[in-house]
Structure 1
Amino acid sequence: MRTRSRFLLNTPRIELWPAWLLRARASADARVLAHAGHVLRRKRDGQYLAAVLDAGLMPLVPRLAREPGIDEALDLLDAPPRLRGRLDPGVLPPDRLAQRLHALGLDPDAYAADTGLDVVAEPEFLALAGFDRYRRPLWLLPGAARAWQCLREAAARDGVVLEAISGYRSHDYQLGIFERKLARGLAVAEILAVNAAPGFSEHHAGDALDIGTPGEPPAEESFEATPAFDWLSRHAAAHGFAMSYPRGNPHGIVYEPWHWRFVGPDAVQ
């Protein structure tokens, strides 16, 4: 029986997903996923590019060899990182960062200076930290994944249910958030009040997550009035978590009582 991987391997353009975590989008997908160890998935749109079978690589799109970033992904298949016991994966180069921001009418240097935010690189790999409210795999750095599980268990012992709303997001995924909101008629300035620009979100690093609780809408200020937030305010620091965007934060981001980052217990004041 094939061992189920619990790691997401990362390249600037393509992710290598454990096949057992992916949903089939058609009957053909179901047959392939049932026999695959990993699936190469394009970050920009989630397209399945190829499946890794015992017999070799099975392309799922035409002209796979021409897919941008495919060589890096195949190299990672041939020489995967040593994952067991590692808490400190390396980071990827911020590929195409200026291109993404220019597409939104933003200058990277000016945005960084205005907000005080730093460019956040994506990690080489992430660990499965369970599943979020929507039953999607929750990816975090290995240390953050363990800390999140301990945090949830401690809250549960006190009768408080914590749910993950989202964890790691790639630069491309962040750009997709902007594109979807622009399509709904929002201006870039409006979006920037709620979402950091692609390449600058803490979610890229894999150590931040949005937290919710049953019955409470996601990512709303009303989370502040819940027993879950009260519990986090009193106990999150002991588990190494800090709220990133309090009221009046210097980055110009709205108050986000739901957004917490694992910084380690020694770093929390």
Structure 2
Amino acid sequence: MPVRPTLPVANTLLNTDHIELWPASLLRARSNHDARVLARASRVLRRKDDGRYLAAVVPEGLVGLLPGWSRSHGIDEALDRLEDAETRTAPIDADLAGTLPLRGLRRRLNVLGLDADDYARHTGLELVAEPAALTLAGFDRYRRALWLTDAAGRAWQAMHAAAAAAHITLDAVSGYRSHAYQLGIFERKLARGQTVEQILTVNAAPGYSEHHGGNALDIGTPGEPPAEESFETTRAFAWLTGNAGRFDFHMSYPRDNPHGIVYEPWHWRHAAPGTTPIRHS
């Protein structure tokens, strides 16, 4: 399928249920062959479950980066999304692109032995769909691309600049996470011997994390370990407490929150004016 990109792609992540369409310029080559292909590519089809590169979009069409890539689960949906993006005559507005259906979520919860309805009743958390497109909002402290909705990204950049003007350094620790990524967090912790019940005191079940919606940020500051309660003793946290509301950011998990999630002074969610922040961690 010849594909000739006509629009800049460096600032937009296109999303499908199983595959993300990344700007090639933001990905690291994992082999000499990948490096040669990525140097010419506009986008890369990247599998969510394990991060493997499936294929790259080059001027003359698609180049496979993984044997059997064309038989990958969800590939037809990803190729349809790619074709739609490349035939557009106007830039993609990440905030108007809608959200993905929640297909496959119950399967992910079943892997963990969780019933979606029981979990929602017990925690008061609501399902969070993934955006169909996200905007590059800069980079996190690990130099990874920071993906957020367009509105949340602009608000984060404005808040980051305002803090810097007050001699406060805010680090983004993480932003958008897919349902598949959240499941991976559980799988890694289970492999280390934790129980699902223990993990749920710190991490929401896949499908119930605010990070899925592209509006939530874990925030840190240099010299402070990520996602630790000690963040509340920093000047950065004091500044956020007094100023984040001006940028429509709100701390999602105070002490003794009704969802059974531990206190998270580092976790902040953007809620556009006129909306009520929804608690999903």
| Length-normalised TM-score, structure 2 | 0.92
Deviations along 1:91-129, whole A, 9 cap, x unmatched? 001121111111111111100100000010000000000
Which residue of structure 1 aligns with residue 244 of structure 2?
Answer: 236
| 1:240-255 correspondence to structure 2 within 5 Å | 240-255=248-263
Deviates most, 254-263 or 20-29: 20-29
- 1:87 deviates by 2.8
Which residue of structure 1 aligns with residue 131 of structure 2?
Answer: 123
Q: Distance in 1 between matches of 2:9 and 2:206?
A: 31
Q: Distance in 1 between matches of 2:50 and 2:94?
A: 29
For residue 44 of structure 1, the aligned residue among 45, 49, 69 is 49
Conserved in 1, the CA contact under 8 Å of 2:171 and 2:222?
A: yes
What one-letter code is carried by the residue in structure 1 that aligns with 2:62? L
For residue 205 of structure 1, the aligned residue among 208, 213, 216 is 213
Deviates most, 161-170 or 81-90: 81-90
Distance of aligned partners of 1:85 and 1:121 in 2 relative to their CA distance in 1, 3 Å threshold: closer
Deviations along 1:65-109, whole A, 9 cap, x unmatched? 311100011011111175455533300011211111111111111
- 1:265 deviates by 4.2
For residue 9 of structure 1, the aligned residue among 8, 14, 33 is 14
Aligned with 1:35: secondary structure?
Answer: coil
Distance of aligned partners of 1:213 and 1:52 in 2 relative to their CA distance in 1, 3 Å threshold: same
Q: Distance in 1 between matches of 2:112 and 2:58?
A: 39
Aligned with 1:126: secondary structure?
Answer: strand
Which residue of structure 2 aligns with residue 191 of structure 1?
Answer: 199
For residue 73 of structure 1, the aligned residue among 67, 71, 78 is 78
Conserved in 1, the CA contact under 8 Å of 2:94 and 2:135?
A: no
Q: How many residues align?
A: 269
- 1:63 deviates by 2.1
Q: Distance in 2 between matches of 1:59 and 1:115?
A: 43
What one-letter code is carried by the residue in structure 2 that aligns with 1:112? A
For residue 133 of structure 1, the aligned residue among 141, 148, 156 is 141
Runs of 5+ in structure 2 lacking a partner?
1-6
Aligned with 2:63: secondary structure?
Answer: strand
Which residue of structure 2 aligns with residue 153 of structure 1?
Answer: 161
Over the matched positions of the two proteins, sequence identity in percent amounts to 62
Conserved in 1, the CA contact under 8 Å of 2:9 and 2:43?
A: no
